[in-house]
Structure 1
Amino acid sequence: MAIHNKVISVIGAQGGSVVRSLIQNPQFEVRCITRNKSSPQAKELALLGASVVQADTTNTAVLEQALSGSWGLFMNVLTEETTLDVGTQQGIGMLASAAAAGVKHVVYSSAPHSERLTSGTCLAKHLDVKARIECWGRANPSFETFTPVMISWYMDNFCNPDFGMFFGGFPFKKDEDGVLTCRMPLSGGDETLPWLHVENDFGDIVHGIFLNPQRWNQRVIQCTGDLLSWEGIVSAFTKGTGQKARFQPYMLVSDMPTHGWEGIRELFVYSQLRDGEYFGNAPNEVSTAQYLKTAAFKAKGGKGRESLTTVKEFFEQKEVLRVVLENQW
């Protein structure tokens, strides 16, 4: 008899990766909850075998009905375009709907509590919305297990021209010297950052948690596939693509252009105050994510790859080079 593991997701890099992994395990049935079941992403996941339910996730009664019969829930909320209070209440409302629907096992895409971890020195709103929602979920006795997962910097964003502006144009726009120059503030500590190939690896990490939710109950999971500095990023890019690149840091966080999103500066202020330790529960590490990736690999019958993607391997993919070349200007 199949365990009914129902998935709620913001259809995109996180939710889509989770669905694509879980759908390969016959132990689970996957239900995607989306605002628009006619979207290309929703249709793609339906073709893979997931059931797709359209629901307004801000309507607690509607969401409770959509979650009815669910054994487990993966939940991600978008926090960049909301206020601290509104975003927190919306996320808590979603978890309240899950509790009312009888969901027992929750894997929640969270973030470090910047205000708490820096004793009030820094408040990165887009992080703290998620962290405040996490606090409510952890304390809810209706859930048998509640596991916060914290995602790293997306390797995938190096294939998204919209994100190039945050990296100083890298890897799409050359500077006045004709060089692809990555520009970001320093991160603190030894300057290594956590990275993840979200499309390939995030879903398997979440999958691994659902295989044994009691094992990971209340434990923050660092979703990290590689640890690398910005210098290491441009070096891996050059080796993988053959294109010349360099890193030039902003010496002050305030020197970094925000392009309308102040949260990017707040992220670096937080990181520097923590000496580069991003997640808040322990130094950045890869071993836990690899353990979960391996568990999912076995549960899928050996489909896909067992090891996490490194930054070097990411840039060596022909598809990455194709996207970069097609969008360079």
Structure 2
Amino acid sequence: MPKLIVIVGITGVQGGSVASLFASSPEWTVRGITRNTSSPSAQSWLSKGVSLVTADLNEPSSLIAAFEGAYAIFSTTNFYEPFFNPGTQSLLKTGQSINQYCYEQELRQGKNIVDVAAKTKGLERFVVSALCDATKWSGGKYVGVYHFDSKAHTVNYVKNVYPELAAMMSVVQLGSYLSNWQGSLGMRKAEDGSIVLSVLKGTGTKPRPQINVPKDLGCIVRAALQAPPGKNILGASFCMSWAAQFKSWCEMNGLRYGGLYEITLEQFEKFIPVPGLGREIGEMMLFEGEFGYDGGDASVILPGDLSVDCPLTSWEEYVREENWSKVLGKLRWKLA
């Protein structure tokens, strides 16, 4: 009899990747959780044999029926959504930044998922999309990487409050999305016609974990479920530095590589015109450059360490398969 996997946030990129892979397997049935089952993005799953349940992560009671009968749950939460909601500003407490608000909301939603999952009869496996505790691993140097800490603190909550759920949990720390390259990432034409890439000072040469989420996350989650629980997995298709990656990208697109152009955090903030967001992403990159994406946590393993089949996308495959016309069309002459 097929096992049931319940996917939180099936209409998102992460949930969609997991759902696509598991819906194609006769060994599994898939139930997706979304706030609006009538939306086109949600309805598209019905033709693929996926059942849908309406639930709100801010309302734990709505998750009880959604999780019922699950053998496995894949849990993900969305830190960034409030940044793009004009109504968020009116919800902030006195002196509270939008980053702090997003941290509190994501942690609260994560705890709601955990509270209900811990009481779900018959649940055998719990896979959480998370990140490391940047404040902890940097020794308090980087305290503004809220989207890392909120997810890490959800994992801590499982371990501290629900040891039985922790025993069936595996964590996938997702690397940087490869789709970010479609945003051009501060590429510019230099006066000599070469292409340069703006990066934060000191971050250009250290390998960075990156993932083709739509294609590879489902494979990583499947591998996590095929392996014993208790794993702390770096969800990466590969690891590669900005310098090596950008040089390769230029060569594959027939462009002259001009190297990296180092900028300050204040300059980087201007790349992301959403208040508070540029600073947070910049601090994340500085943390990653100094302490590593996972903070140097010795418990972290790569998907290949699971000793199960887990095909992943290479950088060269990704570049060949993507359409780069929009990125190339945005290239300007002026350096950041």
TM-score, length basis structure 2 = 0.80
Is the Cα–Cα contact under 8 Å of residues 187 and 272 in structure 1 kept in the other structure?
Answer: yes
Amino acid at match of 1:312: E
Amino acid at match of 2:76: N
Matched with 1:301 is: none
- Offset at 1:127? 0.6
1:189 to 1:179, Cα distance in 2 relative to 1, 3 A: closer
Amino acid at match of 1:234: F
Matched with 1:316 is: 320
Where in structure 2 are there 5+ consecutive unaligned residues? 83-100
1:208 to 1:142, Cα distance in 2 relative to 1, 3 A: same
Amino acid at match of 1:264: I
Matched with 1:191 is: 206
Superposed CA deviations along residues 97-130 of structure 1, whole A, max 9, x for unmatched, are 2222333311001111011111211111111011
Is the Cα–Cα contact under 8 Å of residues 226 and 310 in structure 1 kept in the other structure?
Answer: yes
Matched with 1:289 is: 303
CA–CA separation in structure 1 for the residues paired with 2:305 and 2:164: 28
Matched with 1:26 is: 26
Matched with 2:148 is: 127
Matched with 1:93 is: 112
1:55 to 1:108, Cα distance in 2 relative to 1, 3 A: same
RMSD: 2.7
SS in 2 for 1:249: strand
Superposed CA deviations along residues 238-266 of structure 1, whole A, max 9, x for unmatched, are 23222445443334333312522121111
Is the Cα–Cα contact under 8 Å of residues 194 and 284 in structure 1 kept in the other structure?
Answer: no
Superposed CA deviations along residues 201-254 of structure 1, whole A, max 9, x for unmatched, are 111000111223xx131x210111222111112222123222445443334333
Matched with 2:283 is: 266
Does residue 236 (structure 1) correspond to residue 252 (structure 2)? The answer is no
Is the Cα–Cα contact under 8 Å of residues 205 and 293 in structure 1 kept in the other structure?
Answer: no
SS in 2 for 1:77: coil
Is the Cα–Cα contact under 8 Å of residues 64 and 101 in structure 1 kept in the other structure?
Answer: yes
Match among 139, 145, 150 for residue 168 of structure 2: 145
SS in 2 for 1:32: strand
1:245 to 1:235, Cα distance in 2 relative to 1, 3 A: same
Is the Cα–Cα contact under 8 Å of residues 9 and 34 in structure 1 kept in the other structure?
Answer: yes
Matched with 1:302 is: none
Matched with 1:255 is: 267
Match among 191, 208, 211 for residue 226 of structure 2: 211
Amino acid at match of 1:157: N
Moved more, 20-29 or 240-249: 240-249
CA–CA separation in structure 2 for the residues paired with 1:49 and 1:271: 40
Identity %: 23
Is the Cα–Cα contact under 8 Å of residues 222 and 284 in structure 1 kept in the other structure?
Answer: yes
Moved more, 238-247 or 93-102: 238-247
CA–CA separation in structure 1 for the residues paired with 2:300 and 2:251: 25
Is the Cα–Cα contact under 8 Å of residues 71 and 124 in structure 2 kept in the other structure?
Answer: yes
Matched with 1:220 is: 232
Is the Cα–Cα contact under 8 Å of residues 187 and 268 in structure 1 kept in the other structure?
Answer: no
CA–CA separation in structure 2 for the residues paired with 1:204 and 1:66: 23
Does residue 67 (structure 1) correspond to residue 67 (structure 2)? The answer is yes
Amino acid at match of 1:151: L
Superposed CA deviations along residues 34-83 of structure 1, whole A, max 9, x for unmatched, are 11223333233332221122221211001122111111110111113443
1:175 to 1:61, Cα distance in 2 relative to 1, 3 A: farther
SS in 2 for 1:184: strand
